[in-house]
Every structure is written in C-alpha cells, then in structure tokens.
Amino acid sequence: MKLNKLEDQGTRKIPCKNKIFLAPMEEINDIVFRLLCKKSGCGLTYTGMINPLTAKEIVLDDKPALQLFCTSTKGIKEFMKKYDSKVSLWDFNLGCPAKTAKKHGFGVFFHNELEQIEKILKTMRENTKKPLTIKIRKSKHTFKIIKIAEKYCDGICIHPRTQPQGYGGVPDIKFAEKIKSKTKLPVIYSGNIDESNCKEFLKTFDYVMIGRKAIGNPDIFARITKNKSNTSFQDYLKLAKKYDLPFKQIKLQAMNFTKGKDNAKELRLKIFEIKTLKEFG
C-alpha cells in the first residue's frame, strides 16, 4: 500500500474480520486476553493506551490496533517505527477521564490543545501508511477535533460520555449520531454495547466496540458472530504461562473470569487467597 498523502484520507480501510471490536482497555487487554477475544470472533482487538515515552516491550501477536496516549510528539516517531509492522492500525486516545490523566493533561483533558493535537496526528500520519484513528469523548471541543482528524485520520471512534460521567450515566447516542451525519470518515461507536444491541447500532454506525461486557467474557464475540467458542480461565492460564505474564495480571483475569458464574463470590474469595501461580493448577 502506497497511501500516505493527505488526499488519501479515508481511503485506508480499517482492517478487520468483522465490525465488532474489542474496545481499548488498560490493564484488561493483555496479549492473552486479546488473542482469546480474536479467537472467539472479535473483528479487531485494541491495546490499552500506551505512552510511547514510558512503554515497556509490547507483544503484538494478535496484530491489534495500538492506542497512543501522549501530549507531545516526543518519541512517537521512534515508537511507531519499532511497532508499525506489528499493528493493524494506530489510534490516538482523546478519551481517558481518569484522575491520573487529569494530572498530566492527557486524554479528555487534552481536548482544548487543538494545535498540539494536530501536531501529534500529523506526526503519526507521517510515520505510518496504516490507518489512523482517534478515540474521543463528548466535550465542547469534539467537533473541532474531528475537523482536524479529518485531515489525517481514517476513522473516528466515539464514546459519547463526558469526562464527569466517567463510565456511568447514559451515553449520548444522539451526539454520536450527529458525528456520524457530519463526517465522511467511518465511525466506530463505543458505550454499553452488548449482544442485545450491537446489530441495531451497526445500522447507524460503521463499527462498534465492546468494552466492559467483554471483561472475563471473550466468548461474547462468539455468541454475536455465531462462532463456536467455549473459553475458560484455564485457556487464559495456559497462554498466560506461555507469554510469561505477571502473576498479578493472571490473578486479575482469574477474578474477571468468575463474572456471571453462580458461585462467583466463593470463587473470588478463593482467588483472593492465591499467592503463587502453581495454586491455579
């Protein structure tokens, strides 16, 4: 693919198996969890947000969308050069509402820095021929940012909650629909997507992503796509050992995999007491 000029915007297709993606989730979306979601039928996996200046070595065997989290262009070029061949697309985070993001002006707290946002997207564009997207929340700056993104990006992901809403409250679907009607770029919708509503949302939006409903539940993608899959924590554990994931991470996912089980409370108490990898069996 030779596309890399501004006039190529929108011609780079989002590379995916289907229109139902795993939303970026810091801490949750480790390599093993992403691989299990992909195997279950997820159309495209995302990493959590990654700061190019502080990132440790990243395993990208699932060829995910890699999400950058930064407030300057520093280190982007080197980082993208290192990982470009291993990702499906590059995304830029403009949504994180967390206190730590506030402290350093990242994510949704970066919305008023329009010039700097443009510099970052321009730098990203210059350093890859792969598709480029932004993931953004609802704010008074969202539409101004989308105008900038239209110069450099190939898609917009909208999670239409405001920063004070965090992950609660009702996502403003009308706001997301307004974006869809105003931009020519494909729109990925994020916010409370599950098995019951994803097909309906795909009538309006080009793609959807599933976040919290996929935690501990990679088979949600199999159920939606009518794939056969029966993923258990043992599948996670086997691969986690192969990838040498930290014990703390395995324990977190063990907790997550209890979700929806009749004896979840009991299981969680047991997992809480586990101190070594061997105890998982």
Ligand X SMILES: Cc1cc2nc3c(=O)[nH]c(=O)nc-3n(C[C@H](O)[C@H](O)[C@H](O)COP(=O)(O)O)c2cc1C
Binding site for ligand X (CB under 6 A): 23-26, 28, 48-49, 67, 93, 95-96, 135, 159, 167, 190-193, 210-213
The distance of closest approach from Cβ of residue 272 to ligand X in the complex, given in angstroms and rounded to an integer, is: 19
The distance of closest approach from Cβ of residue 6 to ligand X in the complex, given in angstroms and rounded to an integer, is: 25
Q: Contact 46/91 with Cβ under 8 angstroms?
A: yes
The distance of closest approach from Cβ of residue 150 to ligand X in the complex, given in angstroms and rounded to an integer, is: 20
Q: Looking at beta carbons, which residue is closest to ligand X? A: 211
Give the residue among 275, 195, 210, 264 at the shortest CA–CA distance from 233.
264
The distance of closest approach from Cβ of residue 209 to ligand X in the complex, given in angstroms and rounded to an integer, is: 7
From edge to edge, which strands make up the β-sheet containing 132-137? 20-22, 207-210, 187-190, 155-159, 132-137, 89-94, 65-68, 46-50
Q: What is the DSSP letter of 111?
A: T
Judging by DSSP bridges, how do beta strands 46-50 and 65-68 pair with one another? parallel
- Integer angstrom CA distances of residue 236 from 200, 216, 269: 31, 10, 20
Whichever of 80 and 136 has its CB closer to ligand X, that residue is: 136
Q: Is 247 left (phi over 0), alpha (psi -120 to 50) or beta?
A: alpha
Tokens of 279: 């105890």
Give the residue among 104, 135, 127 at the shortest CA–CA distance from 26.
135
The distance of closest approach from Cβ of residue 107 to ligand X in the complex, given in angstroms and rounded to an integer, is: 8
The distance of closest approach from Cβ of residue 115 to ligand X in the complex, given in angstroms and rounded to an integer, is: 22
Whichever of 93 and 253 has its CB closer to ligand X, that residue is: 93
Q: What is the DSSP letter of 24?
A: P
